[in-house]
Chains A and B, each alone.
Chain A
Amino acid sequence: MYKLTLIIRYLLKRRITYFATLAVALCVFIVVVVMTVMSGLVGQFKQKNHEFVGDCVVGTDSLVGFPYYEQFMARLNDSGFVVGVSPVVKNFALLNLTNYDIKKGVEILGLDPVLHSQTTNFAQTLHFRAAQPEKAFVPINDPNATGCVWGVDVILLRNAQGQYSYGARPPRLSLTLTGFPLTARGALAGVGSNPARTESFQYSDYSHTGIARVDGSLVYIPLEKAQELCMSGQEKRVSAIHLRFASDVSVEEGTRRVAELWSRFKQEMAESPNSGLLEGVSVQDWMRYRRAVIAPMEKEQVLLSLMFGLVGITTVFIVFVVFHMIITNKRKDIGILKSVGASNVGVLTLFSGFAFGVGLIGSCVGTFAGWLFLARINRIEEWLFFRFGWQLWDRTIYAIEDIPNRVEPEVMAVIIASAILACLLGALVPSYQAARLQPVETLHAMRT
């Protein structure tokens, strides 16, 4: 009983305890805020990539593409576990804005807007045709022309709040895209005369995926047009097939089953013309397919976690120093307690319990302050921007609207547990030393 009473008194009556608690609270606050924002950013980024790609991609990096995709799509549609199949052509082209003297290289993505919307969130990324993806390539200004959708950052600039000025209708823009069709062997189709092929388009809509690189470089055109611009040959080819699985099929399981189907399909098509192109095709889940962009961000998160691991070590050290001071200061108490029968274990429990109390209160205060701060982080940032022109992330550059602030209870629990553990670790050595103190030593010391 004396332990509980003394723990409470030490917590409430010692000023140095307030400093220790404050140090823990501060560390926890920083970790909660940074981890929430960082894991929110990474989580959002992954989600956007997942939505952009679908669950799985059967595709090749080769600009030549691969044939017989329609046969394989038919198998996928019959499989029962695939609910969305969308063939796409990924390639490069030269964009020429006819009314302006603007020419630039762009990445093109040829797709069927309906199939792609069944597989990915393509429809939701559109601004004017969000409810009618089948009309994504039908320009509002000129319904008879072939439309194209632009990544929003290709043409629009964001204001400081991260908003785009879309306007009531898409601007009336004519453009041409020039591609270089390749044969199934990878050679330029039009060697001798003019190897390039040019198609005209009317601008029809914006696409805003929230992925900066995609929104800043991608132009979406109808699948057939992309095939004409970039591929030539008897068999139609595509670069990839994007898939979405039924809700009861996990991405891992679905990808494994698609890989089996593809393997069988490849064997069956082995004798067909240009079947060699099928060899370069791989089956990847969305994470693997987008690993080149996701991995650096994950690495950043790991580095940040490591850095905050160091913050944790600092906490342990602070607690160690504070407890060393407290226990040095409390040698008299230890002597008194032992002279009236307190055991070594009792003294160890007393100071460990004290450390637990410091950790618990500090981490709860830090977590609450962190939660409060996160709940208002966007308002605070907005206020700072209007008042001082200061912004954490420049919205004209970064593809985020709000700073992520969704607090994960599991993350909070882990942080609180870690803080308490850090306090217990920090207090372990001083508590052990206190427990081993001989009462006579401390009583002698007080006499001299």
Chain B
Amino acid sequence: MSQLPVILKAENVHKSYRMGATRVNVLKGAELAVQEGEFIAIVGASGSGKSTFLHVLGGLDRPDKGVIQFNGRDLNRVGARELNRFRNEKVGFVFQFYHLLDELTVLENVMLPAMISRSVAGWLAGRRTVRQRAEGLMEQMGLKERMKHKPFQLSGGERQRVAIGRALMNEPKLLLADEPTGNLDSATGNGILNVLDTLNKAGQTIVMVTHDERIARKAQRIVTLVDGRAR
């Protein structure tokens, strides 16, 4: 593993939030290096800044200080357009509450990243390929029969698998999962972890945030966030 290149690197990352009249320093020099193909779990107590760290790593938020490098490129130095493209193509997010769009079908939710990156003309030209890719992912997630359903018609585990499918749609180099099993019962959660494990074995780089040490043990490496720093 040590020979594989580092695709994501966080150095001395600081992030604070205003909470009412006070300012809360969430990250105080957090550091992390993610190698290609790695499965990392970030653990920490509630409020330790795990999700904030994940959002900063995935370009959903910008750090107050510090450097986030993806494939050697400093994310702080890229413009809004490039950051949007980074979120669309290079990373895939899986959230605790699935965050699917209620108006779209399961298949459309999976295709969403591809729809965002294409104009109407581009979509018309490449929709067959996109659809095939989405259907393949749904099959991989065991949801082939649910493609035309709406999210509200699915169980929690099924919704999370749809969310994983969506995250993988544009074949991102990095999958970021924020408490992916946090809203699921144990059996369903294990199913999701198995999916992530399978993906990792196929070469997918994954960074997962969890507060549960037992779930974290599924990962190859565990990073603990304590007092705003990664250990």
Contacts and interface: CB of A to CB of B under 8 A. Distances in A.
Interface in A7-46: 9-10, 13
Most buried by B among A1, A343, A447: A1
Interface residues of B, number: 34
Most-contacted residue by chain A among B51, B81, B115 (CB, 10 A): B115
Contacts of B123: 1
Interface stretch (A196-204, A329-337, A388-396): A329-337
Question: Residue among A4, A5, A338 with the most chain B CB within 10 A?
Answer: A5
Nearest to B88: A341
A346 to B, nearest CB: 7
A338 B88 CA distance: 9
A386 interface: no
A446 interface: yes
B97 A333 contact: no
A1 B93 contact: no
Interface residues of A, number: 27
A148 B90 CA distance: 95
B173 interface: no
B103 A10 contact: yes
Nearest to A346: B116
Contacts of A342: 84, 116
A344 interface: yes
A335 B101 CA distance: 10
Interface string B64-95: 00000000000000001100111111000101
B118 interface: yes
A340 interface: yes
Nearest to A446: B97
A148 B89 CA distance: 92
B104 interface: yes
A446 B95 CA distance: 11
A212 B58 CA distance: 78
Interface string A123-162: 0000000000000000000000000000000000000000
B112 interface: yes
Contact of A341 (B89, B96, B99, B100): B89
Nearest to A442: B99
Given A4-B120, A343-B81, A333 B101 contact: yes
Nearest to B85: A341
Contacts of A346: 116
A344 B80 contact: yes
B80 A341 contact: no
A341 B87 contact: yes
A2, A6, A344 — most chain B CB neighbours (10 Å): A2
A291 to B, nearest CB: 55
A439 interface: yes
B144 interface: no
Nearest to B182: A447
A9 B104 contact: yes
B129 interface: no
Contacts of A340: 87-88, 93, 112-113, 116, 166
Contacts of A10: 103
A343 B108 CA distance: 19
Nearest to A339: B93
25 contacts: A1-B115, A1-B116, A1-B118, A1-B122, A2-B115, A4-B120, A5-B104, A9-B103, A10-B103, A335-B99, A336-B101, A337-B101, A337-B116, A339-B95, A340-B87, A340-B93, A340-B116, A341-B85, A341-B89, A342-B116, A343-B80, A343-B81, A344-B80, A443-B99, A447-B97
Given A336-B99, A341-B86, A341-B87, 17 more contacts: A1-B115, A1-B119, A1-B122, A2-B115, A6-B101, A6-B103, A9-B104, A333-B101, A338-B84, A338-B87, A339-B93, A344-B80, A438-B61, A440-B55, A446-B97, A447-B96, A447-B97
